[in-house]
């Protein structure tokens, strides 16, 4: 799509990436909790050039009723990209990629949300991508977790997500769009920081067992950095600016 940049240097000899970052440096992350008046909970995230809005409704009655679970609540998730979020207009109908990411985000949040507290109800998570630039599923998860906490849905732990990957034969943290397209591997990871458990891991590419190990650890380090930003967003909204 667009002009093919054959000359882009993903990693130069000084260890600087195409957007000026070092190999273990994530992009700029900003999260604001409680931005939507009508949702039970919400969050807005800017992760590099990604701009994503997450809204949570619930727990509320399930319609259609046959989807309700008698002993626990259910989690429904919709990841949707706006037509203007990418360079070439994205058709608003759900694509296979969006359906996959919706499923994957739901499964990444389920271990954290204490659904047993709300049988016969549903928690709806809506994620709208306003601008996409690589790593949007991780940024979407980060916003969704903050929105769930903002809504007061009981959770065992927060969920923080960050991707790592292989670019120019080196394991780097937080792939952007160019690195995703021209790189060799992309591994998004979601992590529960206090419990120390991984709730999402996907790999797109080929890695040796040692590279895999290094990639997972790099991604988890990234998740811990994102967790600090999520914590700050919730503290700012509920406890005032200087509570930490």
Partner 1 sequence: MDDVKRKYVIPGDVITTGPYRAEDNVHLFEDKLIATTVGISEVFDSGVRVIPLTGIYMPRIDDFVIGKVKSHTSLSWEVDINSCYPGILPASDVFGRDFNPKTHELTSRLKKGDLVACRIANFDRSRDPLITIGDRDLGKIDDGDLIKISPSKVPRLIGKRGSMIQTIENATKAMITIGQNGYVVVSSEDADGLLKALDAIKMVEEQAHVPNLTERVQEMLGIKSE
Q: Which residues are near partner 1 by CB under 8 A?
A: 40-41, 58-61, 70, 112, 114, 117-121, 149-158, 192-195, 231, 234-235, 238-240, 243
214/235 with CB nearer partner 1:
235
Distance CA 172, CA 36 (A): 34
83/152 with CB nearer partner 1:
152
Containing 188, the helix (H) or strand (E) segment is strand 185-192
Instruction: Provide the minimum distance between the beta carbon of 75 and partner 1 in the complex, in angstroms, as a whole number.
Output: 14
Q: Are residues 187 and 204 in contact, defined by beta-carbon separation less than 8 angstroms?
A: yes
Instruction: Provide the minimum distance between the beta carbon of 161 and partner 1 in the complex, in angstroms, as a whole number.
Output: 14
55/134 with CB nearer partner 1:
55
Q: Are residues 43 and 143 in contact, defined by beta-carbon separation less than 8 angstroms?
A: yes
Number of neighbours of residue 60 by Cβ within 10 angstroms: 13
6/70 with CB nearer partner 1:
70
Instruction: Provide the minimum distance between the beta carbon of 23 and partner 1 in the complex, in angstroms, as a whole number.
Output: 29
Distances (CA, A) of 114 to 10, 172, 205: 42, 34, 34
Q: Are residues 107 and 28 in contact, defined by beta-carbon separation less than 8 angstroms?
A: no
18/68 with CB nearer partner 1:
68
- CA 229 from centroid of its chain's CA atoms: 13
70/208 with CB nearer partner 1:
70
Which is nearest to 62 in space by CA: 148, 113, 123? 123
Instruction: Provide the minimum distance between the beta carbon of 228 and partner 1 in the complex, in angstroms, as a whole number.
Output: 12
Instruction: Provide the minimum distance between the beta carbon of 60 and partner 1 in the complex, in angstroms, as a whole number.
Output: 5
Burial 63-99 (b: 16+ CB within 10 A, else e): eeeeebeeebbbbebbbbbbeebbeeebeeeeeeebe
Instruction: Provide the minimum distance between the beta carbon of 186 and partner 1 in the complex, in angstroms, as a whole number.
Output: 27
């Amino acid at each position: 799509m667009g002009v093919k940049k054959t000359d882009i240097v993903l990693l130069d000899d000084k260890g600087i990436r195409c957007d000026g970052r070092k190999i273990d440096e994530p992009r700029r992350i900003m999260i604001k909790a409680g931005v939507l008046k009508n949702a039970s909970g919400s969050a807005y995230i800017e992760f590099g050039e990604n701009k994503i809005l997450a809204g949570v409704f619930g727990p509320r009655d399930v319609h259609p009723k046959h989807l309700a679970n008698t002993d626990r609540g259910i989690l429904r998730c919709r990841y949707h990209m706006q037509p203007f979020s990418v360079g070439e207009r994205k058709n608003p109908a759900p694509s296979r990629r969006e359906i996959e990411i919706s499923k994957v985000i739901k499964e990444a949040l389920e271990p954290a949300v204490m659904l047993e507290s709300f049988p016969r109800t549903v928690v709806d998570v809506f994620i709208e991508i306003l601008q996409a630039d690589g790593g949007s599923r991780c940024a979407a998860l980060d916003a969704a977790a903050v929105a769930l906490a903002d809504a007061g849905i009981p959770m065992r732990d927060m969920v923080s997500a960050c991707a790592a990957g292989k670019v120019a034969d080196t394991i780097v943290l937080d792939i952007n769009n160019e690195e995703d397209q021209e790189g060799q591997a992309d591994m998004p990871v979601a992590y529960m920081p206090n419990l120390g458990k991984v709730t999402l891991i996907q790999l797109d590419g080929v890695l040796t067992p040692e590279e895999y190990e290094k990639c997972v650890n790099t991604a988890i380090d990234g998740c811990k950095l994102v967790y600090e930003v999520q914590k700050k967003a919730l503290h700012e909204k509920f406890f005032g600016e200087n509570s930490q």
